Every structure is written in structure tokens, then in C-alpha cells.
Structure 1
Amino acid sequence: MTSLDAVAVSALKNYDFSPNTAVTLTNVSENVTYRVDDRGTGRSAALRIHRLNYHSKAAIESELCWMDALREDGVVAPPRPMTTRDGARIVTVDDDRGLARHVVLFEWLPGHTPTVEGDLVPSFRVLGTLAAKMHSHGSMWQPPASFDRYTCNYNTALGLKAMWGRWQEGLGIGRSERKLLSRLDTEVGKRLVGYGAGRDRFGLAHNDLRLANLLVDGDHIHVIDFDDCGYSWYMYDFAASVSFIEDDTRVPDWMSAWLDGYTSHRPLSKVDIEIIPTLIMFRRLLLVGWVGSRHEYADEAAKLGTGFTSVTCDLAEAYLTGVYLM
């Protein structure tokens, strides 16, 4: 049993599960996720162990708070957090190093995640619709005074203390890559300053609304993984939707579908649409830093490797010469 396996088992003692309960690791990324199956009762759940030095307990409770509001207001259907016997939604357990790990247990939702194969136009139209609904809700919702979520902007994503790792320390960054991506960084920063962060274009959003974070169960669509929710540019949600596949030749079609879904519920200006390629490059640079800082333990980052930086350089050339998404 690993240290985090032990954390998961210890956390479950706070809930009413039978002794015949299995805990299975399902994903290692920013957080570590387990599937919990109680063979005695037939109940299942998703247990999330938060990574160290990322979100505070107050920030995690704020995430759950917005999820509650979205569900109660009928905007989207995120999973419900399960409470302990004492009514708590966050359990804190020390790992084998004595470090406090925050744990949340969610109901296990049925459904499947759409794949990146086949015709994705309908799926991206759905993503756009969901994004618009959540943006409208977030712009009007009055959070409690204790609400505490981060802001994703140039400084927090690409600055000296980038939350997801600095792209300059990404894999495969040599002299030529650094020079090209520095040009990209400068141009992206300049255009984002020009675009601004007014209330009509910057606010509370999911910030990781991609196909991997949808569960489709017949006519029901659940949005999951609000771990990155916070304040950012609304159009950043499209950039997030094409994470890791920004070089796919179908991106223009997906963007058209996403915008079709979005504008059916929330208006956009020409400037809003024109900033999308810049936000895609902003996200891509962020992900270069993420791969570099997470590849030793996150499977997805490890698989991307140095090739992710190489493709990023190709995208940077296309963007800087004005041909990306043209």
C-alpha cells in the first residue's frame, strides 16, 4: 500500500462504508483520484486527494460552494460531495510524512467521457452552451464573503511564480525553443493587456471545460472536475477545451461549433472572438510548464514529453505569422 493509498483508506473511515469496500486508483494528475466500491451496499464514490501546496481548505470549500449553486440553480449537474458522519465535506488526513492532505468524496456518476475520435462538432457545441450558462451564472451569482478561488491571468499562469510551472523549465527547452517561445510569451502578454479584463469578458469560470470533464449518460450531461474553477477570461474556456490537441486540423470547426453553442445563450463581440487564438497560445504555454513540472508523477504529462514542446514551437510559428486558425 502506498502513502496515498493509506490516506484514502484512512479518510474513508469517516464515512459509513461497509468493511467490504474496495479502493482503486483511477487517475494521477493535479490530484489523485480513487474509485470507491462498497460491495456490501452497492454504493460507489470518487475520492479525490488534493495535491500539496495548491488549494487551501477554504478554496476547496469555495469550489464545492459554486458547484452547489450551479446544481441548485439548474445550470449544470456536477457531482454532489458526500458528507462524513459529522457532516464535513472535506477530510484532512496526515500522510506518512506528517503532511496534511485534504480529501473530498464525491458521488459516483454514471456515464462515459466523449473521445476525441469521430465527429466532435456536436460535443463542442454542447461545451460552448455549458460554458455560456456557467459564465452567465458566475457573473450574476453573489458568492459568500468566505469565497476564495484563484485568478488565472498572465502573472499567475506565465509569470515568475507560475502556478502550474514555468514554461521556461519545460521539457526539451533549448536555446532556439526558448527564443521562439519568449517571442510568443511577449506577444500573448501584449495582446491580453490590450484585450483587458472587464467584467463582460473576465469572471468566474470552470477553466478546464474539456471533453475529459464531461460525463454523458443518455440525455444527461454532467460537468465534473471543478478543481481549476476560478476567475479568468471567459474565452479561456474554449482554449481549455482544446488542451493538448491545439494542433488538430479540426480546431476551426470545433471553435465554430463552440461559438454557436455559446452565442445561443450569451452574446459575444468581434473582439471576444478575435482573442481566442491568443488564449489558446496562453493555455499552451501554461501547459508546457505543467508538463515540465508534473512529468515525474502525472501519467499524462509523462506521455506528452518533449514532443509537446516541439509541437508548441510549430504552433507558435503559425500564431506569430498570423496563420494559426486562419
Structure 2
Amino acid sequence: MNDQAVRLALPRYALSPRATATLINVSENTTYLVEDGGAATILRVHRPGYHAVESIRSELAWLTALREEAGISTPRVVPATDGSLVVEGPRNCVMFEYLPGTEPPEHRLVEDFEELGAITARMHLHARAWRRPPGFTRFTWDYDAAFGAEARWGRWQDGPGVGHAEREILGRLDKTLHTRLSRYGTDRERFGLIHADLRLANLLTDGRRTSVIDFDDCGFGWYLYDLGAALSFIEHYPQVPAMIEAWTRGYRTVCDLPAEDEREIWTFVMFRRLLLVAWIGSHSTVDVARELGAGYTQGSCELAERYLGGL
């Protein structure tokens, strides 16, 4: 189906008959490198049933506004020959410009997180002031969307390796998250439009600048969730405390981060971690989910005990 979607989409763009599409990533969506002579672009093939076309257009509107109004390096959207930003079909497709750079290297995580903190603050400032276009629609990343009756990524209880002991520990974590997030609240200084997936795989650095890509999960959530998401899959790294300190330092060069907000940072790290246990359980066909498996659940229990013991 993905190959069929690519074959249907490519003729809609200003490409020569010699253009090729090479698969580079399969996760939530499927991503291809499109090469045509000396030019390269990125084609994203959307999974069915996750976003309506209006929601995809809303995503593209924000990432464009961030680049044009806030100076955030984001990929330009390449329109089809008829001007469409979203090529509709069995699998909706979007073409982006190719941005140089690679995922931030591990030996520079602390330094790069200071820059990421400043970038994230600029995104949050923009989100608070931006007048969203008519029809703008994105989903919400609140407690109910994560762990409620219709959890977007499934139930953490169905994650790999969740037995009786794991269910007890993670259940205590779940209840604590609910209590603390309810108390923390959703006023406009704490909750708004966020990227929601600022993990390392969605950052590109070329030594001069850091670009932010893949706004597919952007929506309305707690601003500090962007930090929790930035630590996805690496929450156990020994340098994480230094990374968090660097992020907050960078963030405060742009806007305020009250002490009462800073005290909840690990709440959002654990919120994201528990959400990823659910994601792994519901995405068993994705390579990274298969690789992490039950080991991620076990590590989550260890982090949960440490978090709960420190309250």
C-alpha cells in the first residue's frame, strides 16, 4: 500500500520521470527520500485513520508560521503542481524540503539540550501569541488522551512484560500522575500548542543550527511535556539530570520557567515514559518497539520506583 501511495503521489509533483523514492523510515508514518537529478526532498506517507486532512493542514500551518515568524528552522512544505499541500488518496502524502543534518550525537547531549531548551521556549512563546487560522484542529495530549478510556496509543497495562508486579508499580505511578497533573492544571501559561515529540530523532543538527522536523504529533498539551518527549527512550541515561539542567538554562534565556513548574519536570518525564510503554505495546510491528520490548517496561518500573520514592 505504501508503494502504491508513492506511485500515485509522485506524478502530482514537479518531478521528472527519472525521480526515485527510497524508503528511509517506517514508524507511525512512512518516509521516503525522493531524488530527482541533483535535488532531494522528503515524502511522508501518512498512516490511515490518524489525522484528517484538516488536521494535517493545521500541522503544516504551524510549522510554517514557526519558521516565518519565530525563526525556528523547520522544513518547507513542497506543494503539488496544483498547489495542494496535502496530496489526498488512500494514504495522504506531504512533500517537504530536504534539510541537512543528523540526529544530535550522544557525546554532545548536554550542550545540545541547552540549545533545545531555547528553541523550545521560542516555540512556546509563539504558540501563546499565535492567532491560529480558521479551521485549525489538532488533538490533545492530556491525561485522558494518554491513559483514559480511549487512550490514543492503547493501554499501558497491555505493554510488553506487564505482569502483576509491573501492574502494581505502574498503577501507583498512573494514580500519582493523575493527582499531580490535576493539581498542576491547564492554564494558558502551562498548557497550549506543543510539538509533543521533540525526541532526538526529530532534531537535525549540522554544526550551525538545529532544525525541528516531524510535527505529526503536535497538538495541545502541557508545555513541559515537550521536555519529557525530548528524553524519549533515554530517560535512564546517567547524563539526564545534566541534560535537564541544561534545557532549563537554555529555556530561561528566552522566557520564564517558574520554580513550581520546574519541580514537575520529572512528572512529565514519567508521563511520557508510561505513555511509551503503551505505545510499544500497540506498535509491535515498528522496529524500535520490537527492539525495546519488555526491557523498556522493566526500566520504567525502576524509574517509577525512584520517582515515587522521591516525592
Q: TM-score, normalized by length of structure 2?
A: 0.97
Between the aligned partners of 1:316 and 1:217, the Cα distance in structure 2 is: 35
What's 1:273 paired with? 262
What's 1:299 paired with? 287
Task: Report whether the alignment pairs 1:312 with 2:308.
Answer: no
CA contact (8 A) 2:70 2:126 kept: no
Task: Report whether the alignment pairs 1:14 with 2:12.
Answer: yes
Q: Which amino acid aligns with 2:47?
A: R
Between the aligned partners of 1:321 and 1:216, the Cα distance in structure 2 is: 37
CA contact (8 A) 1:9 1:23 kept: no
SS where residue 107 of structure 2 aligns? coil
Map 1:131-280 onto structure 2 (within 5 A).
131-280=120-269
When residues 222 and 119 of structure 1 are mapped into structure 2, their CA distance, relative to the original with a 3 A threshold, is closer
Between the aligned partners of 1:311 and 1:216, the Cα distance in structure 2 is: 29
1:56-92 Cα distance to aligned partner (Å, 9 max, x none): 1101000000011111114302101111111001012
1:97-147 Cα distance to aligned partner (Å, 9 max, x none): xxxx111011111122212x2132110001100100000000000001210
Between the aligned partners of 1:165 and 1:282, the Cα distance in structure 2 is: 14
Task: Report whether the alignment pairs 1:25 with 2:23.
Answer: yes
Provide structure 2 residue ranges, at least 5 long, that are not aligned to the other structure: none
Map 1:110-121 onto structure 2 (within 5 A).
110-115=100-105, 117-121=106-110
SS where residue 140 of structure 2 aligns? coil
Q: Which amino acid aligns with 1:108?
A: Y
Between the aligned partners of 2:49 and 2:269, the Cα distance in structure 1 is: 26
Cα RMSD of the aligned pairs, angstroms, is: 1.1
- Deviation of 1:217 (Å): 2.5
User: Alignment partner for residue 61 of structure 2, among 65, 74, 78?
Assistant: 65
- Deviation of 1:220 (Å): 2.6
Q: Which amino acid aligns with 1:34?
A: Y
Task: Report whether the alignment pairs 1:286 with 2:275.
Answer: yes
Q: Which amino acid aligns with 1:234?
A: Y
Task: Report whether the alignment pairs 1:76 with 2:86.
Answer: no
Q: Which amino acid aligns with 2:282?
A: S
CA contact (8 A) 1:75 1:137 kept: no
Q: Deviation above 6 Å: which 4+ runs of structure 1?
A: none
What's 2:99 paired with? 109
What's 1:97 paired with? none
What's 1:98 paired with? none
- Deviation of 1:225 (Å): 0.7
User: Which deviates the most, 231-240 or 314-323?
Assistant: 314-323
User: Alignment partner for residue 51 of structure 1, among 42, 47, 50?
Assistant: 47
Between the aligned partners of 1:241 and 1:72, the Cα distance in structure 2 is: 23
Higher helix share: 2
CA contact (8 A) 2:103 2:203 kept: yes
- Deviation of 1:162 (Å): 1.0
CA contact (8 A) 1:172 1:310 kept: yes
Q: TM-score, normalized by length of structure 1?
A: 0.93
